[in-house]
Structure 1
């Protein structure tokens, strides 16, 4: 089982596999071009026998590197490709330097180096696919520098020769393509995980709703009707019902934003009831998916507390404001209010609904959730929560 798991390619490897395969096809084409160039140039070499030995070395390395790079399910394919890219650079630089051993100055000063510029591009392509555009550009600059040094052309305008712009441009373009492929693969996997998590959450919600939540709701309703000693049981059942609903809503993957934003308004207006009024701006309020879910869950918890504690005739009001710099959500009710210090007492008793479901959620977003009427009003003046989240935090930047 462990060996099989190790043999499975990582997502980044899967994303760049088509690029590696295309690179191996290009390696074959450039090899054929280099051999043809050798046939055309060998009459002008001073050491023709050595030039054929070097070309044979180039052909052997091309085959070995192609086979090594094609090991897609090797236990450590990334390390293997690192060795291939490093080997490419050593072979390319060695063959370029060997040009001076097979030709005189007049020849190598005005012609391509021995392995040809096109074949040397394989090293740049491998570095770009493996490490991205920066590595590709650096590799292109290195190979270009070696070519200019071997041909003794530093005193000329290097940009008039195609070597530098071609190698650097190839490194940049292939590096950007590799990074784009990796990001696309990552976003695809995030979308798959989000879909799976959503389906599992919905399945769990149905099963829990058909069983536990219905029982808790029945105990809460019947206990409130009977009164007396069962009132506390009804109160506890109501708290657990809220906590369980919140737990189900948290099953989505927080990390799975995928750069997507959602409109916060529908998440809040969906909580409107005959006793809950929701007011939102007339234009969309786009925020990160996770931030939107967390804000909506905090508001849902506040409204649940209104239903449980504010009294049977209490009404609640939710107001969403977008100031440009931050989001402000106000949840107010006209119920019996909360006595000063009651939240601290509840937390000391181990009842963490407010501290975790409201304050903790918003704090995790870098915002604040303040209970204003515990300080300003007091018992009999209702309860007012003010939730503030900066635009930067809400967008997940």
Structure 2
């Protein structure tokens, strides 16, 4: 649509323009804390330091039985240094976490293998390894948080096999040695917890984006309705009343009004995942608002499967189209949406001329199926009911009842 000459294009208020142009700050620590697995990483590092304390205590009790006590203290000191470095590195949300987790696993396996350097076969075949099984669990936990339960179980098995190789014990008697089941269970449980946290975060983000998109589309829809749609509707009605050359302008305005309403209807129902997702029925109905149509809906979203919601909206559009065509030039229509939990009720009422007795049967015999197919047929396909209440000179009211869930 061309802009009349002599009019300047409106400019945005300076404050709003400056707000749009203001650069956004980097996410920083706030974004790091919002990561879904961040609490797990922090808790894992606290556990790492606690297990280090246990390993040092174990060293104090076992050092007298080692053949190389000095080397054992060097290894324990290396464990302490690595625990501090790994705790700092893994608690930070950086792209290097994968490398640190791999290094953590390598260090754990190496220190476990070094047990044979500090003790004789009689000792390490009947005791746990130098770094203790509890301290070795840190590598399993890190792998599980990073990649989920499968990688966590694999890491647990790897640590358990290393423990069996170092000690020379391949005993399946779980009553005597439950190292392998414990390590595998830790990898499985922590990995599942990490995946659950990621899924919950992803769903929360999708819900937030959907709510923001819905709010923005409704705002744009209101602005379009308050401006363009009302002007087009006014031009269509006045052109039809004036007739002559203005009738062609009325026809064009009517076509553009219908096209714009359909576009808004398509954009007003964002979904999470295509046609199988759920949408807010209120958004589909509110785009029908005009100077002649009033739409009332609950304050809370009326969520339905997308296909069912679109079919209900199509029924309402057909009813409103009948009001425009048959109720009279000055008729007003009122749409009321009610949410009863398991079902919705949509009432479409007008104050027009009503329907004379037998008129619907005559229309059906003439091949005009707006009521029988577009309204009653659609509602029947949804498993609902469509009740018509009308009398000549008293307007028309449709009451449409449809369950929220169904195959359609």
**TM-score normalised per structure 2:** 0.65
Matches within 5 A, 1:270-289: 287-288=304-305
1:35 aligns with 2:52: no
Match of 2:357 in 1: none
Deviation at 1:270, TM superposition (A): 11
Structure 2 spans left out of the alignment, 5+ residues = 1-21, 290-301, 329-363, 383-404
Query: Cα–Cα, structure 1 residues 66 and 2, in superposed 2: closer, same or farther, change >3 Å?
Result: farther
Deviation at 1:242, TM superposition (A): 2.4
Give me the whole-angstrom Cα distance separating, in 2, the residues matched to 1:395 and 1:185: 29
Give me the whole-angstrom Cα distance separating, in 2, the residues matched to 1:65 and 1:253: 44
1:59 aligns with 2:80: yes
Deviation at 1:36, TM superposition (A): 0.9
> May I ask how many residue pairs the two structures share in their alignment?
320
1:17 aligns with 2:38: yes
1:91 aligns with 2:107: yes
Query: Cα–Cα, structure 1 residues 48 and 87, in superposed 2: closer, same or farther, change >3 Å?
Result: same
1:254 aligns with 2:278: no
Larger radius of gyration: 2
1:49 aligns with 2:70: yes
Deviation at 1:28, TM superposition (A): 0.7
User: Paired residue for 1:111, among 127, 131, 134?
Assistant: 127
Give me the whole-angstrom Cα distance separating, in 1, the residues matched to 2:365 and 2:133: 81
Give me the whole-angstrom Cα distance separating, in 2, the residues matched to 1:42 and 1:127: 30
Match of 2:202 in 1: 186
Match of 1:211 in 2: 227
CA contact (8 A) 1:159 1:165 kept: no
CA contact (8 A) 1:133 1:174 kept: yes
Matches within 5 A, 1:154-165: 154-158=170-174, 160-165=176-181
Deviation at 1:103, TM superposition (A): 1.2
CA contact (8 A) 1:19 1:129 kept: yes
What root-mean-square deviation, in Å, do the aligned CA atoms of Structure 1 and Structure 2 show? 4.4
Give me the whole-angstrom Cα distance separating, in 2, the residues matched to 1:108 and 1:203: 72
Match of 2:92 in 1: 71
Single out whichever of 152-161 and 13-22 deviates more from structure 2.
Answer: 152-161
Deviation at 1:83, TM superposition (A): 1.0
| Deviations 1:315-371, CA, capped at 9 Å, x for gaps | xxxxxxxxxxxxxxxxxxxxxxxxxxxxxxxxxxxxxxxxxxxxxxxxxxxxxxxxx
Match of 1:123 in 2: 139
Query: Cα–Cα, structure 1 residues 234 and 378, in superposed 2: closer, same or farther, change >3 Å?
Result: farther
CA contact (8 A) 2:268 2:283 kept: no
Match of 2:189 in 1: 173
Query: Cα–Cα, structure 1 residues 50 and 395, in superposed 2: closer, same or farther, change >3 Å?
Result: farther
CA contact (8 A) 1:96 1:150 kept: yes
**TM-score normalised per structure 1:** 0.67
CA contact (8 A) 2:221 2:287 kept: no
CA contact (8 A) 2:105 2:139 kept: yes
User: Paired residue for 2:152, among 129, 136, 144?
Assistant: 136
Q: SS at 2:37's partner residue? A: helix
Deviation at 1:229, TM superposition (A): 3.4
Match of 1:243 in 2: 259
User: Paired residue for 1:223, among 228, 239, 243?
Assistant: 239
CA contact (8 A) 1:12 1:185 kept: no
Query: Cα–Cα, structure 1 residues 148 and 395, in superposed 2: closer, same or farther, change >3 Å?
Result: farther
Structure 1 spans left out of the alignment, 5+ residues = 273-284, 314-376
Give me the whole-angstrom Cα distance separating, in 1, the residues matched to 2:235 and 2:215: 29
Deviation at 1:11, TM superposition (A): 8.4
Match of 2:6 in 1: none
CA contact (8 A) 1:35 1:55 kept: yes
* Higher-helix-fraction structure: 1
CA contact (8 A) 2:239 2:250 kept: yes
Query: Cα–Cα, structure 1 residues 196 and 19, in superposed 2: closer, same or farther, change >3 Å?
Result: same
